Structure 1
Amino acid sequence: MSSLAAARADNFYYPPEWDPSQGSLNTFHGQHALRERARKIDQGILIIRFEMPYNIWCGGCNAMIAKGVRFNAEKKQVGNYYSTKIWSFTMKAACCRQEITIQTDPKNCEYVIISGAQKKTEDFDVEDAETFELPADEEKGKLADPFYRLEHQEADLKKKKEAEPVLVRLQRMSDARHSDDYAINKSLRAKLRSQKKRVAEEEAASRKRGLGIRLLPASEQDAATAAKVKFSSKFEKNRKDKRALINSGSIFPGLSASSMSSKRRLELESKRRKISASAASSLLAGGYKPSSWSEGAVLSSRQKGASMNSRH
């Protein structure tokens, strides 16, 4: 937007044909200062932004419109309460375009729904909320009577006497609990240290298992839940069959138990032959001194050879 257009939008642009004797720029242009918001100003209606004061139910589609939702509402005066004006706000719901009318109630200092919606009632139990119930308007009016106020005070004094032992006991417990600040601080720090130690142990146990999160300690509820888990019988049978097949088979692929035993036997025999051949070659080469048993065996063989030669 140019500076000239911005000036015209803000009514700071004075055209050459304007004369101050003609009045303001709005009068010169024939428009209201509030522009579109005042398009029904001749009917006493002004367009404003209205904020819903409480939760309501839409009368058209029964949807809930939350507190704080804003609408473009038509504001107009519909009466007076003494010297205070009563204003009416008419708007359309976004859910179904239902027309909702709300008026002010200066007497009770609240907003009243006239048509198109219903206020959402949000009651609560005083005992459940742990709050005090405020006296009603009739009760406040009766308190102006001196005799009724005196009877009411007597009832309050009776309630006080009944609740006094409980209050005194609670006060004593609170005083005893907070009498020694050093002991309280010491116990709190000890509890914090034990908690940090337990968390460190749990994190270390999780790291040992290769987990990146801290595991909580096992509980009886976890054990009971795990015990209730039952796998199907077919799954368990298949698992047992596969385990038995693995235990009975060989660790080497493509070989049975009999072939494996025969191959093992052949390997052992070849190793023995290799050992015997190496020992004989060492003996012939004089690599080591023969033992007495080997010397006797050599002598006996030589004698046998000599006898055979003499016979020939």
Structure 2
Amino acid sequence: MGERKGQNKYYPPDYNPKKGGLNKFQGTHALRERARKIHLGIIIIRFEMPYNIWCDGCKNHIGMGVRYNAEKTKVGMYYTTPIFKFRMKCHLCDNHFEIQTDPGNLDYVILSGARRQENRWDPLQNEQVVPETKEVQKRLFDDAMYKLEHQAKDAQVAADSKPVLQKLVERNMSVWDDSYEANCRLRAEFRQQKQEIKGQQDLDRQLLAKSSLDIQLLPETAQDREMAALMKLQTKSALERESEQRLELLMRPALPGATATTFGGLKRQKALNNHLQLEDLGIRRKKLKEPQTEASSAEVKSQSLVGDYSSSSEES
């Protein structure tokens, strides 16, 4: 079909071959709209994003591989390699950003309008196989002793890595040898995780319905459990707080110069404690709906007061 490409073009009746090709005769460019700025040295190309970037206009993330219609311009030379600049418009806002080739480092450089998402690392840190640099290659070609030392070092690294690689191969064979068993195991794990997630969602839904809230609950952590336990220890019931305040008022001396041991001392404190305990028992009986007459309560109060005065008289 290649020999028929030249015959598929439409030639108008007034076409004159002496003027040149068909594009030159019609006064158009072969690139059509892509060459509308060719008089300025700009060609419209389809540019693919070489890495992840952040747009400075809308602050959105643009992933590697997203394609744009970019204006390609030649801005310089790196020895015999041309340097090109690409200008394009963000598809999410009206911001334009410019990217330029960097032949010296085999990379692209952002000039304006965006910033690069830094996710680069040294491949030697995670024990990746790294090709030799040009300086090392040149030294290996020129220096025979350096080449011999380099080969000995490579052999030692290979010998050290061989047991680890063997263990990884054996583990891989033992885990994934039977594809049916591996598939069943993975499906069982996924099913269990799905049930746990569904149960947690049901609990969260019940808690939100009980509290009349419409928020997103985060997963529980160990720190949350510790804080809840501490808050539970710190909280006291209203009855306990009331009894403590009453005991503090009763133990407070009536005169400014009096001490806690005046008018009865320790025996008075014990009597007051007994009095509070009897009052607590009376409150609990009322809660349990047990009958209790006013005469019995008055009798208990009189006994406590008699014990109080007897203790003070004995000490005095």
TM-score, length-scaled by structure 2 = 0.43
Decide which structure has the larger Cα Rg and report it: 1
